[in-house]
Structure 1
Amino acid sequence: MAAALTSESGKQGRAATTVLSPNSSPQVDTPYSIYTRKEKWIIVAMVALAGFYSPLPANIYFPAIPTIAKAFHKSIDLINQTVTVYLVFQGISPMLWGPLSDRYGRRPVFLICLAILVGSSIGSALCPTSAFWLLLLLRCFQSGGSASTIALGAGVIGDLSTPEERGGFFGMFNLGPMLAPCIAPAIGGALSQGLGWRSIFWSIVIMVAACLLCVALFLPETLRSIAGNGSVRLPLHLRTVIPIVGKKTTPTSTLQEHSSGNEKRSVNPFPLFTYPDIVILLSFTGIVYAVNYTITATISSTFSSVYPSLSETILGLCYLPTGAGMIIGSTFTGKLLDWEYARLKSRSTEGDDRRANVTIEYARLRTMPTHLLIFVACVIGWGWSLHFNAHIAVPLILQVLLGWTSIAILNTTMTLNIDILHSRSSGATACTNLVRCSLAAVLVSVIERMESRLGLGWTYTFWAGICALLLPLMMVEIKIGPKWRRERELKEK
């Protein structure tokens, strides 16, 4: 029954593991999590807040690049190296922190990463203008501390959630990391213009310090190989200072009493790149993310060229439609994933063998062709609307749709990744982060040359075509992915 849907559902959010078989009734086991659904939402909100600070230091910095170049007496091209090193470490660092959290716990790694971000941001704010090398080094540490919060948050959701609710939780969680690139440039531009470029780093210090305090006081340890379903009595250094969740349940059991095979695994995530179904998901996520990130990163420069009458304040506001689309898309897609899973699960209990063998890959990816085709059409429309100097309302409306569909695709692939690699959720998300950041860095570095040679219309038509070629890969994942997954699970057993 490896191909059949597996769900964990329970009363008032206290989920119990249930395996759906076409010829038997569900058998309820021990509760999957002691936390109520409301308490899970509180935890997800905390890790979403931490995830917001993963892309924030990069995007809030963009508007201040010309000012920083003057302050350090360097060219803009040289200052752009601070962006390059940030992207490099944004891709690499989760490959360390994510797997470590899969072995030693989410809470301590969260605290270490946020503390590194606070310290490096203080150093950046105080950096002397005669030491450009120091700014480069501190940007590396900023990226190393901030980038991993996405992988850590995905790990927490994997620990807490059952497949029925995982889509909704990922929808909420991804709002943090995806909204930052949309609102951070406007904040950074206002701070740099009003208070100077150093105020950008001081604002990061204040915001992240508040988040660090929130995590230290309230976030419980959730790693199942350490905390089980939340009922395991933890050592003092892993306990919350103020337990605002799980208060109705007193931890009494030991991990051995609660163990369900969640052993600690190797911290090396690189073998995940040898799994063909995972490689397909990583390719899908990375390419779509890179194309959308490039559009978002070039909104200011492209609009200032196509619509030269726009002020810097208006250019900053032009990022907001993308954020609005992401808010709508994240909320809607999360509910859609949960609804689709529940609907297909209910069909699998009707006794029809054909319906019972619905796979998790099909349940998650069934709606993806629609999202992908809309995304492709919007990328083409974006390029040609700017090429022909269409009214500014046209690209702004397309930004809403691009934000909607891009986060829908990201939510779906990340949710499926956690479904497939549940016990290595942070490592799986770290691999996703490595691929998408690497592809985004490459695409951002070549997009200006492509636009100058091909024009805006043909440049984005080319990248839309690359995204359209992902559709056959999606079909392969749905049809053959379950076979690869079953073979891998048998080998691991």
Structure 2
Amino acid sequence: MASTATDGKQEPIPVDEAVVAPELPVEGEVEVPYSIYTNKEKWLIVAIVALAGFYSPLPANIYFPAIPTLARAFHQSVENINQTVTVYLVFQGISPMLWGPISDRYGRRLVYLVCLGILVASSIGLALCPTKHFWLLLFLRCFQSGGSASTIALGAGVIGDISTSRERGGYFGMFNLGPMLAPCIAPAMGGALSQGLGWRSIFWSIVIMVAVCLLCIALFLPETLRSIAGNGSIPVPPHLRAIVPIVGRKATMEAFDPDSCAKPKHSVNPFVLFTYPDVIVLLTFTGIVYAVNYTITATISSAFAKIYPQLSETVLGLCYLPVGAGMIIGSTLTGKMLDREYSRIQARSGDKFTIEHARLRIMPFYLGLFIVCVIGWGWTIQAKAHIALPLVLGVFLGWTSIGILNTTMTLNIDILQSRSSGATACTNLVRCSLAAILISVIDRMTSEWGDGWTYTFWGGICMLLLPLMLLEIRMGPVWRRKREAAEKEVADRDAA
């Protein structure tokens, strides 16, 4: 049994919690904290990585309104220009599989600086791209995606470094606001920039915004990888230090955690995670929900332009904002709910506590409401209802989709805490791949079946996810303990 301090008293921690997020050893009268950072410092770190995460989907979504303009400028068909969207999604799924494991081994700061540097350089190239070289547009979009996509995996890694399972839901909920808000805000930005200043201004705006984020990370973000910095109290090499160390300045040797600086003994190959049944269930759940939701958000402007022809490009971009508002509400509420449910179920369950049950208990509510909204969206669009109705549905779609994603991705980090960046990279690969597939067929489906039956079909697919959730609650702890026992046996054999 592990223990934690609450109001100066030692309380037992249930066996399963000790497996998921073990407390650090107590030396003498001083308990070694999991992280030396104060609550305010942790929120500052989360705010910085959430800002970086905002730039993962931004280059894809800010680009959408300019596609017709780019087709004319490069003398290509819209279908050919859409290839730049496809290659972006492909590299968005692949690149975190490289950068995530590297950050799990060599540190977060360095990989952040490299990835954002690539994003800035490729965006400058796109802003200056000659219109007679379409191949160069495709090539640079690959690099732009490769630089931006990994910021989500890196941010998840940072949150895993500084937070325990008890508090992780709130931090991850706030972090996820960055990546989830971009698809809602970016189209309005892209439409206004393209219409007012031309398509090149879109890429120059990305350069300016990302350069500011890059500067914030270089100045303020500390190295958090536990195999390098421990709980934040271990001095790191000069090239991994924040230029202005405003975070963690109150560190003392009493907070030193020697055990947390041990080198990780697991493989950095993220593809091995696809052999874990509990991880596969979570990836399937997350990927399908994300892909279905992405088909709706990616087609809002085209669907509205068809049934509300009086709307301008700028107004069409503004129609994404209700979804963003729903995401803000959902992210805030879900984070607090996850932390509250964790503490409540832990206190009630005692030694029978499992992290899977604590995290997924609220999932039927979110999934049921999401399915209703997906089906309602399809029939609302097909019926050409008043614009207020799909906008209201957009709020609930944003709320429920981010609630589901926050829940499953938080659990994924809980069960793979030492490989949090690699785990999030796998999530990114699955959801981007499924989104690319669905985007490629959604127009054909709506043309053949109509919007109503198309989204009824996808709502039915989402309904089939409920048994997967129940399977994860029941079998997830068994699979996880078996995996952790096997890994411990290998580690003990290697140590001997």
Name the counterpart of 1:351. Answer: none
TM-superposed deviation, 1:345: 2.0
Task: Find out whether 1:307 has 2:301 as its counterpart.
Answer: no
TM-score, normalising length from structure 1? 0.93
Q: CA deviation at 1:63?
A: 0.4
Cα distance in structure 2, aligned partners of 1:478 and 1:161:
23
Taking the TM superposition and a 5 Å limit, the aligned residue runs for 1:19-418 are 19-20=13-14, 29-250=31-252, 257-259=258-260, 263-348=264-349, 355-418=350-413
The answer as to whether partners of 1:62 and 1:188 remain within 8 angstroms in 2 is yes
Separation (CA, whole Å) in 2 of partners of 1:267 and 1:123 = 32
Residues 385-428 of structure 1 deviation map (CA, whole Å, 9 limit, x = unaligned):
11111111111111100000000000000100010000000000
1:383–1:457 contact (8 Å) kept in structure 2: yes
- Determine the C-alpha separation between the residues in 1 that align with 2:3 and 2:92: 33
**Aligned: 1:444 with 2:452:** no
Percent identity over the alignment is 74
| Cα distance in structure 1, aligned partners of 2:361 and 2:262 | 31
Q: Deviations over 1:108-159 (max 9, x none)?
A: 0000000000000000001111111111110000000000000000000000
- Give yes or no for contact 1:7–1:163 (8 Å, CA) kept in 2: no
Distance 1:450 1:253 in 2: 58
Q: What is the aligned-residue RMSD (CA, Å)?
A: 2.1
User: Deviation digits for residues 44-89 of structure 1, max 9, x if unmatched?
Assistant: 0000000000000000000011111111111111111110000000
Structure 2: which 5+ residue stretches go unaligned? 489-496
Q: 1:478 aligns with which of 467, 473, 478?
A: 473
Matches of 1:47 and 1:328 in 2, distance apart? 20
The one-letter amino acid of 2:95's match is: S
CA contact (8 A) 2:14 2:353 kept: no
SS at match of 1:91: helix
Q: 3-state SS of the aligned residue for 1:309?
A: coil
Q: What is the letter of the counterpart of residue 326 of structure 1?
A: M
Given that residues 372 and 405 in structure 1 are in contact (C-alpha distance below 8 angstroms), is that contact kept between their aligned partners in structure 2? yes
Structure 1 unaligned spans of 5+? 349-354
Q: Quick one: distance in 2 between partners of 1:113 and 1:318? A: 31
* Contact preservation (8 Å) 1:225, 1:264: no
What SS does the corresponding residue of 1:271 show, helix, strand or coil?
A: helix
More off after superposition, 29-38 vs 334-343: 29-38
Shift of 1:347: 2.2
| CA distance in 2: counterparts of 1:250 and 1:117, whole angstroms | 37
What is the SS of the residue equivalent to 2:156? Answer: helix
Moved more, 437-446 or 306-315: 306-315
Give the conservation status (yes or no) of the 8 Å contact 1:7–1:164.
Answer: no
Distance 1:408 1:448 in 2: 27
Match for 1:490 among 485, 488, 491? 485
User: What is the CA distance between 1:303 and its match in structure 2?
Assistant: 0.7
Deviation for aligned residue 1:262: 5.6
Q: Is the 8 A contact 2:229 2:261 kept in 1?
A: no
In the superposition, relative to structure 1, how do residues 310 and 18 fare at CA in structure 2: closer, same or farther (>3 Å)? farther
**Poorly superposed stretches of 4+, deviation over 4 Å:** 6-12, 26-29, 250-255
Q: Cα deviations across residues 182-236 of structure 1 (Å, max 9, x unaligned)?
A: 0100001111111110000000000000000000010000000111000001111
* Code of the aligned partner of 1:380: I
CA distance in 2, matches of 1:9, 1:103: 31
Asked if the contact 1:17–1:32 (Cα under 8 Å) also holds between the matched residues in 2, the reply is: no
Residues 462-473 of structure 1: pairs in structure 2 closer than 5 A: 462-473=457-468
- 3-state SS of 1:259 partner: helix
Residues 1:306 and 1:407: Cα distance change in structure 2 (over 3 Å): same
Cα displacement string for residues 330-373 of structure 1 (whole angstroms, at most 9, x for unaligned residues): 0000000000011122224xxxxxx4302000000000011000
Asked whether the equivalents of residues 107 and 220 of structure 1 are also in contact (C-alpha less than 8 Å), the reply is yes
Could you give the per-residue CA deviations for residues 223-256 of structure 1, whole angstroms, max 9, x where no partner exists? 001110000011111111101111111579987x
Residue 108 and residue 466 in structure 1: after superposition, are their counterparts in 2 closer, same or farther (change >3 A)? same
